[in-house]
A and B are shown apart, each in its own frame.
Chain A
């Protein structure tokens, strides 16, 4: 218990990387949520309260309310966070970028293909 946010984020990415690739958007969405919540439950005392609008120190996974279309890519959904975008493709591939476009994480779907954004 007691890791800082940066360390917890790296732990989240490490566990995502090691996990079995997802085969659909819904599986990937669920994988992201479960993995991040496991890390936060393990390393913080902050309860899971996604209804809170203001930051409470806990990291929250993408939610349906944050979904956006991606122009020209009907197979990809973008989930917006304050400072990041999480892309999920219908083959289960995941990509996380910061709002400046820097790629922080990439994981292929079970078919071996990534999100493959331009």
Chain B
């Protein structure tokens, strides 16, 4: 009897159906096998979407938002890593973290702030802000202060090969001066 060779995403589908017999697991096949495959999973109405294509990684996404034309939030090199992450998401009912790659300058502009305004918040010279935005290496504390100045919070996320996600808390992390209320928007 000829053996049937399954696509890695078909193997993933079988594994998830076995692990979560009560989940809805639906494979959305492309017109051509070389195209992009999607695996839609829902457990207790918590959704996870997996994308896969030959020659590419497994994309994993779980989000309450539906943004048109986006790629996967997270990518995993192999089926084992993707499976671990999917299980984690379904059991914890948490969401994936899309990493839109923006520079500090883009982050500042997206939030409608000038270098001068950031400088005032951080009590630094505008020239220093310009240097920070152009550096390849910055101190974590400097980055944290800059992110707070654009009304954000810096989180250091570690994604391990087996799919686990951890947020790293640095030793002796000290809360820097909060964003001045006068500049709150």
- Residues of A whose CB lies within 8 Å of any CB of B are 1-2, 5-6, 9, 12, 36, 45, 52-61, 63-69, 77, 80-84, 96, 98-99
The verdict on B117 contacting chain A, using a C-beta distance below 8 Å, is no
Residue contact A59 to B100, C-beta cutoff 8 Å = no
Residue contact B100 to A84, C-beta cutoff 8 Å = no
Q: With CB as the reference atom, state the residue of chain A lying closest to B106.
A: A45
Q: Could you give, for residues 92-109 of chain B, a 1 whenever the CB lies within 8 Å of some chain A CB and a 0 otherwise?
A: 000000111110001001
Instruction: Chain A residues near B35: list those with CB within 8 A.
Output: 64-67
Q: Choose from B72, B100, B106, B109 the contact partner of A82 (Cβ within 8 Å).
A: B72
Chain B interface, number of residues (Cβ within 8 angstroms): 38
Q: With CB as the reference atom, state the residue of chain B lying closest to A13.
A: B68
Q: Choose from A5, A9, A80 the contact partner of B38 (Cβ within 8 Å).
A: A80
18 A-B pairs (CB sep. < 8 Å): A52-B71, A53-B51, A53-B57, A54-B99, A57-B100, A60-B70, A65-B32, A65-B34, A65-B53, A68-B31, A69-B31, A82-B70, A82-B71, A83-B49, A83-B65, A83-B66, A83-B70, A99-B40
Q: Could you give, for residues 52-88 of chain B, a 1 whenever the CB lies within 8 Å of some chain A CB and a 0 otherwise?
A: 0100110101010111111111110000000000000
Q: Choose from B29, B30, B72 the contact partner of A54 (Cβ within 8 Å).
A: B72
Q: Choose from B30, B73, B74, B99 the contact partner of A65 (Cβ within 8 Å).
A: B30
Distance of A5 from chain B, by nearest CB (Å): 5
Distance of A101 from chain B, by nearest CB (Å): 12
A2 to B70, CA, bound (A): 17
Q: Choose from A6, A54, A84 the contact partner of B69 (Cβ within 8 Å).
A: A84
Residue contact A81 to B68, C-beta cutoff 8 Å = yes
Residue contact A65 to B36, C-beta cutoff 8 Å = yes
Residue contact A2 to B71, C-beta cutoff 8 Å = no
Residue contact B68 to A9, C-beta cutoff 8 Å = yes
A6 to B66, CA, bound (A): 10
Q: With CB as the reference atom, state the residue of chain A lying closest to B75.
A: A54
